[in-house]
Structure 1
Amino acid sequence: MKWTGLNDLRESYLKFFESKGHLRMASAPLVPQGDNSVLLINAGMTPLKKYFQGIEEPPRHRVTTCQKCIRTPDIDNVGKTARHGTYFEMLGNFSFGDYFKHEATAWAWEYLTKVLEIPEDRLWVTIYEEDDEAGDIWANEVGVPRDRIIKLGKADNFWEHGSGPCGPCSEIHFDRGEKYGPFESFEQAGECDRIIEIWNLVFTQFDNDGKGNYTQLATKNIDTGMGLERLACVMQDVDNLFEVDTIQNIMKKICSVAGVNYHDDPTTDVSIRVITDHIRSTTFMVGDGIRPSNEGRGYVLRRLLRRAARHGRMLGVNRPFLYEICDTVINENLTAYPELDEKREYIKKVIKTEEESFAKTVDKGMQILGEFIKELSADDTRKPILSGENLFKLHDTYGFPIDLTREILQEKNIGIDEERFFELMNEQKAKARSNQAFKGGWDEATANALSGLTTTFVGYKSLTADSKILAMIKDGEVTDVCNEGDEVTVVLDITPFYAESGGQVGDCGTITAGENVMQVIDTKKTGAGQFICNCHVESGCFYTDDSVKSAVDEKKRMATARNHTCAHLLQAALRKVLGDHVHQAGSFVDPYRCRFDFSHFSAVTPEELEKIEMLVNDWILAGIPVVTEELPIEEARKKGAMALFGEKYGDIVRVVQAGDVSTEFCGGTHLDNTAKAGLFKIISETSVASGVRRIEAVTGYNVLSAYDQTKAMVTNIAQVLKIANPTAVMQKCENMMNEMHAMQAEIDRLNGIISMSQMKNVTEGATEVNGIKVFSAMLSGVTGDSLRKAGDKLKDANDSFIAVLAGVSDGKGNFLCIASPEAVAKGANAGKIVKEIAAIAGGKGGGKPDTAMAGIADVTKIDEALLALTDIVKNMIG
């Protein structure tokens, strides 16, 4: 056997099956496209399910792939063993009703024994115990000795998932040799990891009705899978995936950054393996457009990054460092995934930002968790279990993931009340759902009515069409007629109306038949891709099969096109001014505005916004032709066309190019020349999520509307301020602000005099606790700032005291607690005192041992709260 690198193995496998008439397809993104059954792609066949299920026609009936995959059920074991990982690549060859068992077995054996030159006597084959056909093929055609063909039961060698297509499996196993243990039997050798499975061939030949009844499928399929990393272990004669060449290079980089060596210490080795696996996963996840968040696949990413960051700290790396390892991950995978290089800076920036965010929360979270652990340790009368309330507090208040809490506490042999934690999480989600408007989809009747209908879209080239009504739905039911005043959903055979897609709203317009008129309110697509018009019947009536005239509202379409084309120009300007890390994170264009979300990690400065706006207007005034064409995807990539992260594209793509400025994959409607945009004006720049900014802008006539609104507002302000000349508004406002500041300063001065006059006799009647004077006072008409100033005066005039002052102004109140250094030395804590005092008046607060403040919810209970001061202090220092 010849040592072979992982990247060379991948290429040799794909080339081999290309030679057998297979179409090599690129790995699908880790984000499933049009499949909500899985969170992340977790197997080689997952992106191909639509071909196996007959939903779509495959590009060829023989396909081979190397698919990126993420699996997280065993995440807690990653690092603790050398076998578990979350990221892997799956080699596969697939037949959609083409070849079957004879070819699949012969080619698998040929690749392993002829191409890779694995000795035949080190390979074993397992089959389903009732699949004699496969056994005969392996023995009689492939030439595998009968005593090396093992029959196993349904649990091991039959693939099915509920009802539907299923079938027997045949697995090829490799014998790693005596160093892993003796070979007493196939089962025993498997238990000691001497025998490992390397390739699984699934023969999909039955349909299961869900009741245990199996019938032969008319069209049989082949689905195979072989883990690339596991195959590399075999070819490189190493024990586990962490010793494979490309992965080993990532580990070496981590060890270099952390100043440690692999195999020196078992505890250190765990952390090295965790970081190695998780940085592989997260680099590819970010590259496929996933961003850290608190739900869904974004949470998986955040969990992996934070777990890796924590293990970095365990190695002594207390700064962001994972983003540095990204370079090694990318470099080791460039031959198969060159797009990683294009996204290199973006990937590193996302990961670094998440590391920095975690660094801000982890220290506080660890401090709070440490306090919880101390409380548990102090109470040895019960089994140490962290409550669900405390788990939720760590998660909700401090952003500390429960997975990280669980892992830390497992190391300390402390349990957690996960059941209560998830109860609280569900309560929180229920509240969030109750506050969110319901967003429904199409009902079942609508979906059934539209099934099988198709619409030809002609709206790129024409704003009108001669159409026929294929179907109408009113009140959720199919109807053959609609009348004046009805709200109806209409499907046309030919439509000029663009359906809402890719961030662009659907078209409006009219559908007419003589004097009969329907207003098209908007146009959408169903999940199956049909164009549907939501309409209001303005006059007359319409029938199914009517011939009608369809016309798009040209004014709105053009306004939308201005905004969409300018969204492309805006992205180009952002990348030019801010850097190549900028990528689209979402967009929305309609006739009134252009909204563009993009990856960036700080607010865009006014100077940068001015440059961006000027660039877009320069390109508009340059009158650059905008060319739209359909191209093979590889040709489009060669032209430098930008694609959306995580988006799945077909073999033919639509490309929109504005000269040398912008080239993007896009299915929307656009201008044919930038000059038709007129003008471009940025209205706002805000944050919408961590590392994502949003710009809203207007174009064309909407710029004039924005100008008119601003002019009207300035005129109205001038009238309110009684200024004849609107141009003097700014000076008048500055004068007024200066006057207000002077007045506020005078108010503060007078409040100080009032509060001090009320303070003259506050120490009379003070009680003494353990040598410390304790007194309180109620000050009327005193704001929080004045209360603090009064407290400063008390500090200057008194020694060895604890005081609580209550200040009330305009119905709002605050408590201030001050403890002198002598009082603090005896155990007084102003933060705890004010917390207890405020609670009596329904308020909350806290602070330092010497000074603390709290709010007052119920001012009628101030006296009651102040009367409790002496008892609180006695309990604390008495």
Structure 2
Amino acid sequence: MQTAEIHRRWLDFFEKKGHTVVPSASLVSDDPSLMFTVAGMVPFVPYLSGLVPAPFDRATSVQKCIRTNDIEEVGKTPRHGTFFQMCGNFSFGDYFKEGAIRFAWELLTTSEADGGLGFAPEDLWVTVYEEDEEAIALWREHSTLPDERIQRLGKDTNYWSTGQPGPAGPCSEIFYDLGPEYGVDGGPATDDDRYVEIWNLVFMQYEVADVRSKTDFTILGELPRKNIDTGMGLERVAFIKQGVQNMYEIDQVRPVLDRAAEIAGKTYGEDHADDVRLRVIADHVRSGLMLIADGVTPSNEGRGYILRRLLRRVILSMRLLGVEGPCFAELFPVSRDAMQAAYPAVAEDFAFIERAAYAEEKTFLRTLASGIQILDSAVDAAKSANAAVPGDTAFLLHDTHGFPIELTLEIAEEAGVPVDAEVFTSLMQEQRDRAKADAKAKKGQRADLSIYKELRGLGETLFTGYGELVHEGRVLGIVVDGAPVREAHEGDIAELVLSETSLFAESGGQDADQGLIIGDGFEAEVLDVQKPVAGLIVHTVRVVIGTIGIDARAETRVDADYRRGATQAHSGTHIVHAALRDVIGQSAHQTGSYNKAGYLRLDFAHTEALSSETKSEIEEISNLAIRSDYDVVTREMPLDEAKALGAMALFGEKYGDRVRVVDIGGPWSRELCAGTHVSSSAEIGMINLISESSVGSTNRRVESLVGIEAFRNFAAERAIVQQLTGGLKVPRGELVTKVQDLGAQLRAAEKKIAALEAEKLRERVPQLLASAEQLGGVRAVLASLGAVGSADDIRSLALTIREQLGAQPGVVVLAGEAGGKPVVIAATTAAGREAGVRAGALVRTGAQILGGGGGGKDDLAQGGGTDAAQIDAALAEIRRSLGG
């Protein structure tokens, strides 16, 4: 049975049982505490916790998920994958244990011909929480399982909670027995790989508090509305139903594995290490495909970093299989073809997906080439010193150059040199600790979402700001220092939840409104407006006058000037986006944006820098659209209708069933957008592109000033031109030529000065040779040169002196200050190297004292630092290392 067919049967079954079919949410989670959607229940958490009223009593979904916490296990076990699909059925105060157990048994054991999954009852086992007599009785009633295949287990395996105060309850897990050839008898209680968990039924039954550990907490009592949350692993069921050994061999994954093996000239199943690498490739290519399809692009932080890591592990695994060139163009189309039956978007958006993936591959292959050069030098030095490759070098390669530690270890092992893994591990742990501390600090910046549960239950905050700037509402909640309070007093920084507001909350790239909240006897300055949970708007304010209390009437007043600037910038973003697509092509779609009064920033899919001519053309088209005074029309309609009209849905954005469509000039610019906008394009005033830059291998960024800020920038540039023409006494039309001439004169003068300085240094050769001393059996020239033009001057002088030393064992170590920074360069003769003198080792010795680092080969090396005052001390230490 194909994976897409299992997917279809799941949804059909539960739809017939009265469940609302909910499409898979994005892999990019709405939950601010999660980077990705890590489980099928994540999109339903607000409903399961009661934070947001559920819009349905029963629901079902097949949810896309990403987990990378067990990434090192991928390929090694039958069922660890970074991308997986979780089939779920959910009840929100409707059916409970009896329904969940009855539905699960029916779907699993109904024959394939009758629309079920066709599992033989004798192959199934279940586990229940040891004290859950109700669940045991229901399994006996609704299944044909004998008592010995209903096993009781403890809280550590069969009790679910979030680890925080809130809902919790027992669970019941369903396992498939692979057969005696896979392990010992005894059922899931043996914890043997023979028994594969395929479905978990969570009975959300109790309210818990004082959570001391996963198994130690206080049960306050039963929930007023009990919920059901279940999850069936689609890949696990697929590999069982398809009769293969693991999830990497199912129809959605195996084709990539086979293509990778073909490219590498390997046969799957012949070598365990190669098999693991092939599974990693198949898994990670699919994960990369699905992440990019959901708008994630490779970067050095957050979600983009996780994607980058997955893609680079594919490249590394292919390299370890012997493939050094690009291979994504062979692998990604195969994954697309395997996944498009279940997810048509991967085919529809493949042009964007392949552009992002292939650019990342090209970048990383260059990184590998440069990293190998650094590693080769470190390996040579380690060999010469009969030592290990330093752990800090391995960490530098990993952290700064993106060079995988696995490849460092393999190359070093082939050369017969160990790597100081202890230091590397220590540095990695320090980095993780810093990241955890940073994440904890960021997480603590806003109150726990649970404090909004009761407030959100009162209904959505009504936003009236599309049509008015002033509106009166009622204070529903006040939060100070992360805790709910009844009042906020003068001087407090507080979060206010109102029944209605005209203040725009930051979203869709648009910054929050500025303004005031005023009531009887109080006034508060608005510092920020956010939506911490769907449907709830929270105002962060500084109480300027008086005291704000619960139930007080409160008038929201938007700063009209700021809102005008923000609407200009947001509409300007749409116009620049349309102009980009006109000039570059339809592939240049928006991947991110930010706008506020007077400023816009737009990220778009593209791999090459824009020429000056292209930037000018985009700017001109944008301003012509403004001059054309296009009508800006906003309409609300169903999402499907909006898409049928050609409204652009942007990568990474999430949309409800009803959306706002913003047209500028009719279909010229038609996008889904919940931001605020001008009523006609002429109101934008002016677009002034001030910057274009790279924000990753597949994305570019343009920045622009808008409206009065654009005019002020042009006025400032005009003043600069007037000052230059006046000072240089040339007309404006000749200014560029005059500045170019002055630049050429300056460069010629600098070149002449550099030549004179170099000649002056060469005149010191006899004096420096005369200063040579015998140290450790070699003739050594060690000298501080003082301030010099550049490090190249020092290197040239060192090589000249080394040549004068001839065939005798010799070494030259020169140091100086170039550009305010200390530089040390060492050069050895062939006989000096035979005597055991290594330029790279000498440089590292000196650079440590200079507060920096360095390296190179045995014959020539360079280092530097930050403290030029330590040059003499560095040379003294080098002298001691030579035996002086």
Same fold (TM over 0.5): yes
Matches of 2:859 and 2:413 in 1, distance apart?
38
Counterpart-to-counterpart distance in 2, 1:117 and 1:808: 76
Structure 2 residue aligned with 1:279 = 285
Match of 2:283, SS state, is helix
2:656 to 650, 675, 678: 650
Measure, in 1, the Cα distance between the counterparts of 2:134 and 2:148.
Answer: 16
Q: Which residue number corresponds to residue 226 of structure 1?
A: 232
CA distance in 1, matches of 2:424, 2:347: 41
Cα RMSD between the aligned structures?
4.6
In structure 2, the partner of 1:685 is: 692
CA positional deviation for 1:480: 7.5
Aligned position for 1:94: 90
- Counterpart of 1:729, as a letter, is L
User: 1:425-436 residue pairs with structure 2 within 5 A?
Assistant: 425=431
CA distance in 2, matches of 1:104, 1:617: 60
2:747 maps to 741
Corresponding residue number in structure 1 for 2:122: 122
Q: 1:673 aligns to what? A: 680
Q: 1:22, CA displacement in angstroms?
A: 1.0
Q: How do 1:773-812 and structure 2 match up within 5 A?
A: 774-775=780-781, 782-784=788-790, 786-788=793-795, 790=797, 794=801, 799-800=806-807, 802-805=811-814
The correspondence of residues 311-710 of structure 1 with structure 2, limited to 5 A, is: 311-322=317-328, 324-362=330-368, 389=392, 392-401=395-404, 416=422, 420-422=426-428, 424-425=430-431, 440-441=445-446, 455-465=461-471, 493-509=499-515, 524-525=529-530, 527-528=532-533, 529-532=536-539, 534=541, 551-658=557-664, 659-689=666-696, 691-710=698-717
Distance 2:539 2:844 in 1: 60
User: Cα–Cα, structure 1 residues 387 and 164, in superposed 2: closer, same or farther, change >3 Å?
Assistant: farther
Moved more, 260-269 or 561-570: 260-269
**CA positional deviation for 1:181:** 7.2
> How far apart, CA to CA, are the structure 2 residues paired with 1:503 and 1:584?
11
1:759 and 2:765 correspond: yes
Quick check: 2:182–2:193 contact (8 Å CA) kept in 1?
yes
Given that residues 409 and 415 in structure 1 are in contact (C-alpha distance below 8 angstroms), is that contact kept between their aligned partners in structure 2? no
- Alignment correspondent of 2:31: 34
Instruction: Give the corresponding residue for 1:165.
Output: 167
**Structure 1 segment 795-834 matched on structure 2, within 5 A:** 799-800=806-807, 802-805=811-814, 814-820=823-829, 823=832, 828-834=837-843
SS, match of residue 660 in structure 1: helix
| Structure 2 unpaired stretches of 5+ | 212-216
Contact residue 767 and residue 870 of structure 1 kept, 8 A: no
Cα contact 2:86–2:232 (8 A) shared by 1: yes
Out of 71, 74, 97, the position equivalent to 1:75 is 71
Distance in 1 (CA, whole Å) between partners of 2:31 and 2:45 is 11
Q: CA deviation at 1:597?
A: 2.7
**Conserved 8 A contact 2:122-2:145:** no
Distance 1:631 1:259, change over 3 A: farther
Shift of 1:96: 1.2
Shift of 1:712: 0.9
Shift of 1:282: 2.3
Question: How far off is 1:596 after superposition?
Answer: 1.8
For residue 247 of structure 2, the aligned residue among 230, 241, 251 is 241
Return closer, same or farther for 1:581/1:832 CA change in 2, 3 Å cut-off.
Answer: farther
Q: How much does 1:711 deviate?
A: 0.6
Report if the CA contact (8 A) 1:69-1:90 is conserved: yes
Give the aligned residue type for 1:737: G
Q: Is 1:711 aligned to 2:707, yes or no?
A: no
Structure 2 CA distance for aligned equivalents of residues 224 and 607 of structure 1: 57
C-alpha offsets along residues 17-36 of structure 1, whole Å, 9 cap, x if unaligned?
A: 11111111111222221251
Q: Give 2:691's aligned amino acid.
A: S
Structure 2 CA distance for partners of 1:51 and 1:377, relative to 1, 3 Å:
farther
Q: SS state of the match for residue 769, structure 2?
A: coil
**1:418 positional shift:** 7.2
**What is the aligned partner in structure 2 of residue 152 from structure 1?**
152
- In 1, distance between residues paired with 2:177 and 2:861? 70
CA contact under 8 A between 2:503 and 2:529: conserved in structure 1?
A: no
SS at match of 2:252: helix
For 1:657 and 1:440, the matched residues in 2 are separated by 37
SS in 2 for 1:303: helix
Paired residues of 1:30 and 1:68 also in contact (CA < 8 A): yes
Deviates more, 1:851-860 or 1:287-296: 851-860
User: Helix, strand or coil for the counterpart of 1:603?
Assistant: coil
Partner letter of residue 44 of structure 1? G
Q: Tell me the TM-score normalized by structure 2.
A: 0.83
For 1:216 and 1:842, locate their aligned partners in 2 and report how far apart those are by CA, in whole Å.
63
CA distance in 2, matches of 1:120, 1:706: 74
| Matching residue of 1:56 | 52
Contact kept? 1:621, 1:675, Cα under 8 Å = yes
**2:2 aligned partner:** 5
Q: Distance in 1 between matches of 2:117 and 2:879?
A: 88
Offset of residue 10 of structure 1:
0.7
Per-residue deviation, 1:276: 0.9
Deviation at 1:442, TM superposition (A): 6.1
Instruction: Check whether the contact 2:498–2:537 (CA below 8 A) recurs between aligned residues.
Output: no
1:407/1:282 CA distance change after superposition, 3 Å: farther
TM-score by structure 1 length?
0.84
SS at match of 2:261: helix
Q: How far is 1:337 from its partner?
A: 1.8
Residue 205 of structure 1 is matched in structure 2 by 205
How many angstroms does 1:359 deviate by?
A: 3.0
**1:665-692 Cα shifts (integer Å, max 9, x gaps):** 2211012332332332201113345544
* Pairwise CA distance, 1:309: 1.9
Q: Is the 8 A contact 2:508 2:653 kept in 1?
A: no
Amino acid at match of 1:591: A
Q: Does 1:16 align with 2:13?
A: yes
CA distance in 2, matches of 1:431, 1:145: 49
Separation (CA, whole Å) in 2 of partners of 1:172 and 1:374:
56
C-alpha offsets along residues 227-274 of structure 1, whole Å, 9 cap, x if unaligned?
112222232222222222222222222223323222233332121111
Tell me if structure 2 keeps the 8 A contact 1:275–1:311: yes
CA contact (8 A) 2:463 2:504 kept: yes
- After superposition, the Cα gap between the structure-2 partners of 1:55 and 1:736, relative to the gap in structure 1 and judged at 3 Å, is same
User: Greater CA deviation, 143-152 or 858-867?
Assistant: 858-867
**Do the aligned partners of 1:625 and 1:673 also contact (CA within 8 Å) in 2?**
yes
> Could you list the runs of 5+ residues in structure 1 that have no partner in the other structure?
none
* Structure 2: distance between partners of 1:561 and 1:190: 60
Retained in 2: the 8 A contact 1:127–1:134? no
Give yes or no for contact 1:509–1:521 (8 Å, CA) kept in 2: yes
Residues 522, 40 of structure 1: alpha-carbon distance in 2 compared, 3 angstrom cutoff: closer
Q: Is the 8 A contact 1:449 1:478 kept in 2?
A: no
User: Would you say the 8 A contact 2:470–2:558 is kept in 1?
Assistant: yes
CA distance in 2, matches of 1:236, 1:20: 27
Equivalent residue in structure 2 for 1:290, among 291, 296, 308: 296
Tell me, in whole angstroms, the C-alpha distance in 2 between the residues paired with 1:782 and 1:137. Answer: 87
The 5 Å alignment of 1:827-866 reads 828-836=837-845, 845-855=854-864
After superposition, give the CA deviation of every residue in 1:131-170 in whole Å (9 maximum; x if it has no partner). Answer: 4444444444x45154575232235544445554334434
Distance between the aligned counterparts of 1:91 and 1:556, measured in 2? 47
Worse overlay, 627-636 or 292-301? 292-301
